[in-house]
Amino acid sequence: MTDKTKKDIHYGGQAIIEGVMMRGKEYFAAACRRTNGEITTTAEPVEKGVLGSLKWLNRPFLRGTLALADAMVLGMKSLMWSANLAMQDEQARVEEKAGKTPSEGQSKNRVNDVALSVTIFISMALAILIFMFLPIFLTKLMLGGSTESRAWLGLTEGGIKLVFFFLYVWGISNWKEIRRIFEYHGAEHKTINAFEAGEELTVENVQKYTTVHVRCGTSFLLVVILVSILVFSAVPWQSALQRLGYKLVLLPFVAGIAYEIIKLAGSRKESRLMRLILGPGLLMQRITTQEPADDQVEVAIRSFQSVREAEERNGELHV
């Protein structure tokens, strides 16, 4: 591969249950470690969807909305795939002990899809409540009628939101299951860092690299929060529900600005200014990524190789 080709291709990914999803421009792949020790992989084209068909959205400060929606849909799809594999493994273990039929297991898999979809919906609703509505309510409660300064109210609300975010990340990091997800997150970052450095992707080579990456979703979320503090400082405070409505409408604009910052940082990794701007997010990754074991890195490499093979088979990759 030429240096220009490497520079032009930006890969990303996500940790899933006992595995890693990797994506390129047109294809994504996922790999999971099964309970029998084998690695199962899948690779598919990235579906454009309704937003993806609107070419006018693929412009600076608009494409962030497209990228955010795309990442959410692809992330949920990969997560459900890995969850079903985990359930299949658990069912196989139960059936071996209890003699249940395969048809019973398939029925439970369909129920699992519905249950996971409901869980994701509830999680999103809670995220809006905790990170958008509750900071508004607490700010009004704390400051009351003592000030009408939008800037001061906005900074107070943003500070509360940051505290909530840090506490949330720290809290879930203490769960054994989440910590394992964070280890696969670290394996994903190490693999992409090794590839971008031009290394041959072996477990030994990949393990030499850091678990921190400037294009990480953790950094993106933190940049979104920081940008939102500035943007939402101009939003009226007549009522909590009204302000929440304004914030939901402006969220795509905030995501668009944050996306451009992350994209710029990804192409200027050595810039001191970019490191300063992304510093809090890079520090946060010390929590959301953990050092992976060799077998977890092997899964991340397999996922990355799968998406590259899909690109090569379909003429998207020129080596």
pLDDT value at residue 8: 55
Q: What is the mean pLDDT of residues 185-193?
A: 96
In a domain, 259, yes or no: yes
Residues 267-292: tens digit of each pLDDT: 776 777 777 777 888 889 999 999 99
Concatenate the DSSP letters of all residues of 83-129 into one string: HHHHHHHHHHHHHHHH---HHHHHHHHHHHHHHHHHHHHHHHHHHHI
In a domain, 318, yes or no: no
Residue 241 has pLDDT above 60, yes or no: yes
Residue 298 has pLDDT above 60, yes or no: yes
In a domain, 319, yes or no: no
pLDDT value at residue 13: 92
In a domain, 249, yes or no: yes
In a domain, 182, yes or no: yes
User: What ranges make up the beta strands (E) of 232-276?
Assistant: none
Q: What is the mean pLDDT of residues 114-135?
A: 79
> How far, in Å, CA of 63 to CA of 84, rounded?
31
Total number of domains in the chain: 1
In a domain, 143, yes or no: yes
Question: Residue 242 belongs to what H/E stretch?
Answer: helix 240-267
pLDDT value at residue 54: 63
pLDDT value at residue 17: 94
In a domain, 64, yes or no: yes
In a domain, 222, yes or no: yes
Residues 71-120: tens digit of each pLDDT: 888 888 898 899 889 888 888 888 777 766 554 444 445 445 566 667 77
> How far, in Å, CA of 281 to CA of 214, rounded?
8
Residue 59 confidence class, pLDDT cut points 50, 70, 90? confident
Strand partners, 14: 21
**Domain limits for position 181:** 3-313
